[in-house]
Amino acid sequence: MKQLQGMVWGIVASQTVCVSANANSLEYWDFDVRQNRVEIVTNGDVRPKAQMIANPTRLIIDLPGVKLGKPSVRQGNISRYVNQVRVGQFSPYTTRIVVELGTPYSMRPWEVKVRSLAPNRWFVQLSDFQPHHVYSLPVEEEPVAIAVPSPKPYPTTYGRSSGYTVVIDPGHGGRDPGAIGIGGLQEKRVVLPISLEVAEILRKRGMRVVMTRSGDSSVSLRGRVQKAEQANGNVFVSIHANAVGGNNSQVNGMESYYYSSGYRLALSIHRNILRKVRVVDNRGVKRGRFYVLRKTSMPAALIEVGFVTGSIDNRNLSNPSYRQQLAEAIANGILEYLR
């Protein structure tokens, strides 16, 4: 593993809210500075309402029937163009997200694009920043409604019509062997066959699968993210193997990582591995600031399948039938998440 972990940018605020049994609640939201858009994920179906209002110019996104279930959140000084994003409970059953624009930036209401990935997943895309672009909303306080399309339905089958694209990212490769364990076992050689097997299983289930590498090639972290973005993936799953230094061969086990919207994906894969594979140690599902998790715009998870430096994991990871079991569990976790 051991990827470069740089500065956070892009995501300025993300909130994960516990799932309550009955009510529809806001599971996740994020204002992505780089992509200049708001992402919204709720537990159940939602039809957002969007409007713009002047003085100060702000975009208001209401989520009818959605409970925030926690105190309001306010993020200031987000960028030169966006002063503030606020998320609060507007009325007992409506959560409101307010994006307050900065003075050097103006936007016409019809330039705001609301897009649905599923009835519980929406993007609100602000227009590009244009320095000489001057537009003022009418001064009177009448809000201007923004058109919201019908939501894209949840895919019901895993047939080719499901439209899901899964990006599988086998860690390292080429010049970069990744971690090197007992007997010279290289991480890149462990994760590739697992990844290829995951891809094959998913393809048989009708998914479109894009690999960031399918052979022993060098791909930069940036290149991996670019491939995922170009493929317009619905999920991104990075597969790695772990290592510890200092002859700690007693350290074995698997762990899974997410950064923001990938929590449920990571959890689903992690649980499926624990269910299917005899794992020495469950090291948990954790938040990790890995480049590929932070820079991908889709739900993303990184799975550390075991320690190449661990005496038991090393033996298991060298065994094709163990790797096959891992691959099946990872594929099942992805399928379960998308279901």
Q: What minimum distance in Å lies between the beta carbon of 288 and Zn ion?
A: 11
Q: How many residues in the shown chain lie near Zn ion by CB under 5 A?
A: 4
Residue 304 bears catalytic tag:
yes
Segment lying near Zn ion (by CB under 5 A), choices 168-176, 211-219, 282-290, 305-313: 168-176
| 171 near Zn ion, judged by CB under 5 A | yes
Number of H helices, E strands in the chain: 6, 18
Q: Which is nearer to Zn ion, 181 or 299 (CB)?
A: 181
| Pick 1 or 279: Cβ nearer Zn ion | 1
Question: CA 163 to CA 173: how far, in whole Å?
Answer: 29
Q: What contacts 315, CB < 8 A, 6 or more positions away? A: none
- Contact status: 178 vs Zn ion (CB under 5 A): yes
DSSP string, 44-59: S----EEEEETTTTEE
Residues in CB range of 282: below 8 A, 6 or more apart: 253, 254, 274
Q: How far is the CB of 175 from Zn ion (least distance, A)?
A: 14
* Active-site position among 27, 200, 304, 328: 304
**Which of these segments, 129-137, 210-218, 240-248, 291-299, binds Zn ion (CB under 5 A)?**
240-248
Q: Per rule CB under 5 A, is residue 240 in the interface with Zn ion?
A: yes
- Quote the least distance from Cβ 186 to Zn ion, whole Å: 11
Closest approach of Zn ion to the CB of residue 30, in Å: 26
Which of 47, 1, 333 shows the shortest CA–CA distance to 180?
1
**Residue 170, interface with Zn ion (CB under 5 A)?**
no
Q: Does 1 bind Zn ion (CB under 5 A)?
A: yes
The type of residue at 204 is K
Provide, rounded to whole angstroms, the least separation between the CB of residue 310 and Zn ion.
15
In the chain, what is the straight-line distance between the N-terminal and C-terminal CA atoms, in Å?
29
In the block, residue with structure tokens 């794992």: 279
Residue 338 to residues 86, 158, 226, 230, 333: CA-CA distances in angstroms?
Answer: 30, 9, 22, 20, 9
Q: Does 194 bind Zn ion (CB under 5 A)?
A: no
When the beta carbons of 27 and 169 are compared against Zn ion, the nearer one is 169
**Residue ranges in contact with Zn ion by CB under 5 A:** 1, 171, 178, 240
